[in-house]
Each structure stands twice: as C-alpha cells, then as structure tokens.
Structure 1
Amino acid sequence: MEPTTAVLAIGDNRFPFHRFEKMSPHIQDALETRRIDVTLTTDREELADLSAYDVVLDYLTDSTLDDAQREGLLSFVENGGGYVGLHCASDLTSTEPDDPDEVIDSRDEPFPELRELIGGHFLTHPEKSTYDVRVVDSHHPITASLPDLRVFDEPYVLDVDEDVRVLARMDHPDHADMPALWVRDHGDGRVCYCSVGHTVSTITDPDVGELLRRTVRWVADA
C-alpha cells in the first residue's frame, strides 16, 4: 500500500480577499484522497517544525514570517520537503497594515528568501475574468494528458525567473503568454507554483483538482 502524503495547507484571514476560512474547505476537498491527508491552519508557528508533513501548500497573502518560521520552511524544502505555492503565495510584497483604517500595506521589494524559493513573484492583476490556461509542457508528470483549463479567476501578472520549468501559461487578452504554472528544484526539495486559485469555481473545477493532486504527489516524491 502506498504511504499517505501529509499536507499542511496554510493561509490567513487578514484581508477581505483570499480569506482562508472561505477557500480552505474547497482546497481540502480538492486534495484529499486515501493517499493525501490535509491539515488546515492559519498558525504560522506550524512552519517552525514541519517534521510531521511531506508537503506545505502556501495560500498566504502576507508572507511575513519570523526567523524560526522562515528557516523552518526553507530548511524543510532544502532537505527534501515539497512546497506548493497557490495563487496568493507569490504575493511577496503585500503586508498587514499598521493603520487599522487601511486594508493592505506593501513592501518595496519581495521577501528575498521566499522569492528565491518560488522562482517568481506577483506584480499586479487586472479584474477577475474568464481566461484560458494552456499546457505548454505535456512531458511533465503534473501536466501529462492534462487538458487546457478555462477558469474565471484573478489573472496574475508575475515576474518569473528564466530557469524555472514552465508547464502552463495564461492566455489573457491583456497579458497573453504569462506563465501560470511552473516547477523548480530547491535544494533536495521540489517546488511548484500555480497562479490560479482565487475563486471557489476554480478550486472546485475537477480538472484543477486533478492538477493540484498531481502537484502534491510530484513535490512529495523528492
């Protein structure tokens, strides 16, 4: 019998958008099978010791971590753990504002260690819309035989490193040919980033669910 892959899915509820309490049940439903077990949390302290997990799925908008949390996550991946960045995980400049009357604050530069881990970061996005995500590399286990996707989602414009392996690209009328799914190695671990995942309709799409399960299995098999 194949072993169960233990996934820690982490997000936050600090902003009126990307609320983990709204999205996390759908993420869990999309991922969980007899071979994938998902734990949901908003507690960043969990990142300091990830010894009970095989994969971290990151749905944080504010990626502010203390030293122990950051080092726990990075060493986990460097030593063979899997990392899945979903949608807002690439937003490495947004932070919780000090002013309670403000919705969001922003750093001038992305968190450098997380920028290196993911291999790219969020720049901006137009309004939510319907667009295609085209598979451009069908020779990878994540995307082999996977159909192109059509989603109603928040289309992310990203700065992406040239050395990542791009598996799918966003086909958007204003931002055509933007990477939307890529993989990279980080130390002994594996990383996959997927830019879709803002809406419930996207996460509950059967083809997106299959994509996420394949992603978890691939990053866990380091």
Structure 2
Amino acid sequence: MSEAAHPTRINCVLIAGGLYHDFDYARLELLKPLAEDPRVRTRVFEDYGNLDAIRQADFLITYTCDVTPPLEAQEALRDWVRGGGRWYALHGTNSVLRLFDNGLYGAPRWAPLLMETLGTQFIAHPPIAPYKVEVADANHPLTQGIAPFETTDELYLMERHGDLHVLLDAEFQGEATGFDEADWAHDRHPVLYIKAQGSGAVLYNTLGHCRGHYDMQPFLDWWPQVDRCAWDLPVFRELLRRGIEWAKDGRRVS
C-alpha cells in the first residue's frame, strides 16, 4: 500500500513529572495537540527511566521540574540528539533545585552533561509578574508572524551552555527573591531558543508555569490560587503547536 494510504507512524515520548507544578494539567494539554495528528503515537512517563523508549522515539517532549536523569540517561539523551533526535523541552526541564541551609533555593551544578545538551541551566526567577517577551529572530519559521507579547509567568534566569539560536527573549534586572543567586545585572534572557548539535537539536521554551491547589505539598497543604500563566495565551498555544511540528517533522520547520 502507498504512503498516502498508510502514512508512517511517528513515535513520541512525553515526560511530565517532578515538583511544584500541575503536571496533570500540563500532560493533558500537551497530549491534545499531539493527538491531532493520527500518525503520532505517544508514550508517557514521569522520568527518563525508560531509555529504550527514548532511543526508539522520533521526537521527545519534556515538561518537568527537578527531574535529573542519571548519568547513563544523560549520555543516552546526548547521543540521541546528536544522532538526529528533536527534543522540545519546556519550562523546568533544565532545573535542579535544592533548599539550602540559609532557607533559599539554589541550583546545584550536578548534571552538567544534561545542561550542556539542553543549552541552559535554570538558576532563579523573580516573583511571578507581568513581563514583555520580545522577538529576537522574526524571520525564523518558529517565530514568523509572532508579535512581542506580555505574559505573567516565571521569567527564567539561566546559565548558558554553548551556542544558542535565540528566537524570543526578555529583559530583566533586579532580584530573584527566594533564590540563593538573587542579584541579576541588566541582561536579555532567552525565552525560546534552539541549540543544534550533531544532526539533531533541542528547542527550549521557558514559558508555561502551572500550579494547582495541591502542588506545593509537603510545604503547603493548599495553594490558594490556580496558576495557568502563559497557558492562557493564544500565542503560547501557537508556539506549542509550532514546536511540536518542528520536533516531529524537521523537513517542514528547520
């Protein structure tokens, strides 16, 4: 039978899990656009433990917080990307969080291989507040037609690793309250970028914080409000869809 009659299956791995976020919500909202393409079959996990599934995947999507793969998995992820894999990493995928003795959160550099593959490591964010996202490369297919926009979200302040093609960014100078590395000089910080490596690449989108009433346990039994942040913006949903297209079919969005 022809390819048109029986299109080739596309295997996706979605990893959603960790701390301090509403992973039920994020997982569902990511599965919806994936399900719009009948070629895509998605396996869902909370961590990077199933290396066979990752190695067999055509593309990978991650929405995690403080989920650090062991060294074997970090090496497998690096090799998979270099071998042609497309990884769409969202929000806290690049985070390693620990509460220090001084009562502040810090970002220990415990997974340098993972962060080198991702292109950044999360260090801190200021309190959630409105900020403006600018378009750093308006000619790229992922950002063509996207206008600067305002969002209320976590503005990620990160340590960079390697050469990044920044597509969206945001300006910040000030204090990241509650974090050990709190004082930040004026700079522009990537919001959406690509890190090419080998014949594959990582697309990283720092937006998309979400939190429900129970997601701060055991520190708080009840978080008073439901946070959806950029998820409520049509532009963020458009960026998600474009990122999924980039990940599953690099021939169309390079």
Task: Give per-residue Cα distances to partners, 1:145-167, cap 9 Å, x unaligned.
Answer: 12323222111111224621110
Structure 1 stretches of 5 or more lacking a match? 98-102
Residue 218 of structure 1, aligned match among 221, 224, 246: 246
Task: Give per-residue Cα distances to partners, 1:147-192, cap 9 Å, x unaligned.
Answer: 3232221111112246211101124574663221111212211111
CA distance, structure 2, for counterparts of residue 7 and residue 50 of structure 1: 8
Counterpart contact for 1:94–1:107, Cα < 8 Å: yes
Residue 11 of structure 2, aligned match among 6, 10, 13: 6
Q: Give the Å deviation of 1:69.
A: 2.4
The structure whose Rg is larger is: 2
Residue 22 of structure 1, aligned match among 18, 25, 30: 25
CA distance, structure 2, for counterparts of residue 151 and residue 32 of structure 1: 27
Q: Judging changes above 3 Å, is the alpha-carbon distance between structure 1 residues 202 and 37 closer, same or farther for their aligned structure 2 residues?
A: farther
**Match in the other structure for 2:193:** 182
**Match in the other structure for 1:63:** 67
Q: Judging changes above 3 Å, is the alpha-carbon distance between structure 1 residues 208 and 32 closer, same or farther for their aligned structure 2 residues?
A: farther
**Secondary structure, counterpart of 1:64 in structure 2:** coil
CA distance, structure 1, for counterparts of residue 140 and residue 127 of structure 2: 31
Task: Give per-residue Cα distances to partners, 1:21-78, cap 9 Å, x unaligned.
Answer: 2321122235542265544321422234424422111222223222442233222111
**Secondary structure, counterpart of 1:155 in structure 2:** coil
**Secondary structure, counterpart of 2:65 in structure 1:** coil
**Match in the other structure for 1:100:** none
CA distance, structure 1, for counterparts of residue 64 and residue 132 of structure 2: 24
CA distance, structure 2, for counterparts of residue 157 and residue 105 of structure 1: 14
CA distance, structure 2, for counterparts of residue 197 and residue 81 of structure 1: 23
CA distance, structure 2, for counterparts of residue 87 and residue 48 of structure 1: 24
**Paired amino acid for 2:164:** V
Listed as ranges, the matches of 1:109-120 within 5 Å are 109-120=109-120
Deviation larger for 55-64 or 23-32:
23-32
Q: Judging changes above 3 Å, is the alpha-carbon distance between structure 1 residues 115 and 148 closer, same or farther for their aligned structure 2 residues?
A: same
**Paired amino acid for 2:63:** Y
**Match in the other structure for 2:236:** 208
Q: Give the Å deviation of 1:139.
A: 1.5
Listed as ranges, the matches of 1:1-222 within 5 Å are 1=4, 5-13=10-18, 15=19, 17-34=20-37, 36-91=40-95, 93-94=96-97, 108-161=108-161, 163-172=163-172, 174=174, 177-199=188-210, 200-220=228-248, 221=250
CA distance, structure 2, for counterparts of residue 154 and residue 172 of structure 1: 12
**Paired amino acid for 1:208:** F
**Paired amino acid for 1:207:** V
Identity of aligned residues (%): 25
Counterpart contact for 2:26–2:63, Cα < 8 Å: no
Q: Give TM-score scaled by structure 1 length.
A: 0.81
Structure 2 stretches of 5 or more lacking a match? 175-185, 211-227
**Paired amino acid for 1:84:** Y
**Paired amino acid for 2:14:** A
Q: Give the Å deviation of 1:4.
A: 5.6
Deviation larger for 57-66 or 166-175:
166-175
**Paired amino acid for 1:182:** Y
Question: How many residues in Structure 1 have an aligned counterpart in Structure 2?
Answer: 213
CA distance, structure 1, for counterparts of residue 36 and residue 84 of structure 2: 22
- Give the root-mean-square deviation of aligned CA atoms: 2.8
